[in-house]
Amino acid sequence: MPPKQRKIALMGYRSVGKSSLSIQFVEGQFVDSYDPTIENTFSKIVRVRGEEYEVGLVDTAGQDEYSIFPTQYSLDIHGYVLVYSINSVKSFEIVQIIYDKLLDMTGKVNVPIVLVGNKTDLHMERVISAEEGRRLADSWKAAFLETSAKQNEAVGDIFTTVLNEIERANGNVQEKSACVIS
C-alpha cells in the first residue's frame, strides 16, 4: 500500500527555527546558520500508528504582521505547525496573527494545528512561559509542544502530533470513548 501523502506547512516569524526544525526532522542534523528561507519543501516517510505517511514539509519564508497569507498555504495543506520562539514576544504575537489569517483563508474552524514553542535550549532567555503557550493552543483547540531543534528535543513529536491531528480532523482516529459495557 502506498504511503498516505500529507502536506504540512511550518509557519512563523523569521528566525524562530522553522528551517532548523525541518532539517532536524528530515536529516537528523542541526543547522544553525540558514538562509532566510524563500520557501523550501522537504519530504520524509514516517510511520505513525502502523501507517506509512509521505510527509511533505513546506518550510515557509518567515511571516510578519504585514505578510499577506499566500493562497497556496491554504490549498493542499493538511496541517500546520505554527512556530514561535520562547525567547521572543514578537514571534508569539505573530503566530496569533498567522492563526487568524489561516482561519480566514481556509474558512475552517478546526484546522489541524500544532503550536510549537521552539528554542527551549535558551531557557535563560525565556520570555514566553510554557503555560502561556499551552493556554493559546487550548484557545485554538490545537496541540502544543515545546521543542529545541538544536538539542533535537521533541522534534519528531511535532510531526507525529500533527499527523494525528490531521487524521482526527479527517475522522480517522477513534477517540477513546467513555462507554462501559457491563
pTM: 0.90
Using one digit for the tens of pLDDT, what is the confidence trace for 59-87?
988 888 887 777 777 778 999 999 999 99
pLDDT in tens, 19-34: 999 999 999 999 876 6
Quick one: pLDDT at residue 60? 86
Structurally, at CATH architecture level, domain 4-169 sits in 3-Layer(aba) Sandwich (3.40)
Residue 111 burial (C-beta neighbours within 10 Å; 0-12, 13-18, 19+): buried
Per residue in 134-155, pLDDT (tens digit) is 999 999 999 999 999 999 999 9
Residues 6+ apart with CB under 8 A from 108: none
Residue identified by cell 513529536 is 157
Q: Is the pLDDT at 157 greater than 90, yes or no?
A: yes
* Cα–Cα distance, 59 to 39 (Å, whole number): 6
